[in-house]
Amino acid sequence: MAEARGIEIRNLWKIFGANGAAMIDKVKAGMGKDELNQSFGHVLGLQDVSISIPPGKIQVVMGLSGSGKSTLIRHINRLIEPTAGEILFNGQDVTRMSQQELMNFRRNETAMVFQKFALLPHRTVMENTIYGLSIQGVPRKQAEERGAKWLSRVGLEGFEDRYPAELSGGMQQRVGLARALTNDAGIILMDEAFSALDPLIRMDMQSVLLELQGELHKTIVFITHDLDEALRLGDRIAILRDGKVIQQGTGEQIVLRPADDYISSFVHEVNRGKVITVRTIMRRGPAPSTTGVTLLPTALLEEAARAMTNADVNRANVVDDSGKLLGHISLAKTVAEMIAPDISEDDETDTPTEISAAAS
């Protein structure tokens, strides 16, 4: 299996137009996207983007339409040429690769999953899955063995000889994912990969991706406009507006400390119980009264509230993987943080019955 490596995006600019490089100083001086287009006929795609994408993690890039997220992901494998900046992979700048180096990078190090599936309609599911391997010159038998493995893993065993038109949208996207995995690339680029799917199928594909990622630990760059999807999938999230990174961090960091009103509008309706972890609200030391519930610090508040409610207790101890005590939480604090953040720290009183009911 290909080793996962991180990606460093440094001071990346993209200004579409005949003289994009000359427009950078104008943007740095304060010229906005609309003025740049109206006055000079250039379109601001990315402005001074720097993101450190850790190896073996899912980096989500999100934003509204026109924010630059799809432009950004297409720079990583240089489907779009940058105006300025660096994209570093394994010590090499992708923006400076020769055509042969770039072709090898695309074939061997990256795989891409698109929103519209990008399957070849005249090829079978198996032929689509092993298409990248055939370009690499991998023998057909070996390619089909690898393809069959990943088609089975994404739930498409028995569909190898079908054609894309015979599959549902969700099944077609499974083929796209299997194709990316069959290539054994360390980097998987997913551009709005699940956006065209119905909500239930979309959730199912998210679960498939998380299950596979738990085993494979690929470096995944996932583009979405949906915050719930970003929070569910992303180890780290970068939010773009007008081609600029407004905030980046873990989902929990973004929900707890939005950088501005723009980010606040994104996170306002978030189910905090599915984002915030026990670590954030726990107090040091053991619970002041007996409790039969222990939780890991990475447990989500929703999980913690459910565990305490089911056990009919008001508090839980927090322990690490070895069982060492780290601290404790109360049900009152847990539920309050889920529905009304920034409550008083004085939560050591017995939890009212109605709080227990609200958590269940």
pLDDT mean over 241-250: 95
Residue 343: band (very low, low, confident or very high) from pLDDT cuts 50, 70, 90: very low
pLDDT mean over 41-67: 95
42 with 19: CB under 8 angstroms?
A: yes
- Pairing mode, strands 219-224 and 236-241: unpaired
- The angle that helices 169-182 and 199-216 make with each other, rounded to 10 degrees, is 20
Task: Tell me how far apart the alpha carbons of residues 267 and 260 are, in angstroms, rounded to a whole number.
Answer: 11
Over residues 144-189, the pLDDT tens digits come to: 999 999 999 999 999 999 999 999 988 999 999 999 999 888 999 9
Over residues 86-132, the pLDDT tens digits come to: 999 998 999 999 999 999 999 889 999 887 778 899 999 999 999 98
267 with 255: CB under 8 angstroms?
A: yes
Q: What percent of the chain has pLDDT over 90?
A: 76
The phi and psi torsions of 112 (rounded to 5 degrees) equal: -125, 135
| pTM as predicted | 0.85
Tell me: pLDDT of 355 over 60: no
What are the C-alpha distances in Å from 169 to residues 192, 224, 294?
A: 14, 18, 42
Tell me: pLDDT of 237 over 70: yes
Burial-class residue 324 by CB neighbours within 10 Å (0-12, 13-18, 19+): exposed
| Amino acid 358: pLDDT | 39
Provide the residue ranges of all domains of the chain, joining segments of one domain with +: 7-109+185-270, 276-359
The token duo for 309 is 């409610």
pLDDT mean over 133-145: 92
Architecture of domain 276-359: Roll (3.10)
Residue 5: band (very low, low, confident or very high) from pLDDT cuts 50, 70, 90: confident
Burial-class residue 28 by CB neighbours within 10 Å (0-12, 13-18, 19+): exposed
| Amino acid 6: pLDDT | 92
pLDDT mean over 327-334: 93
- Class of the CATH domain delimited by 7-109+185-270: alpha beta
Give the least confident one: 68-72, 170-174, 354-358.
354-358
Give the least confident one: 86-95, 184-193, 262-271, 284-293.
284-293
Longest dimension (CA), the chain: 71
Chain mean pLDDT for the chain: 90
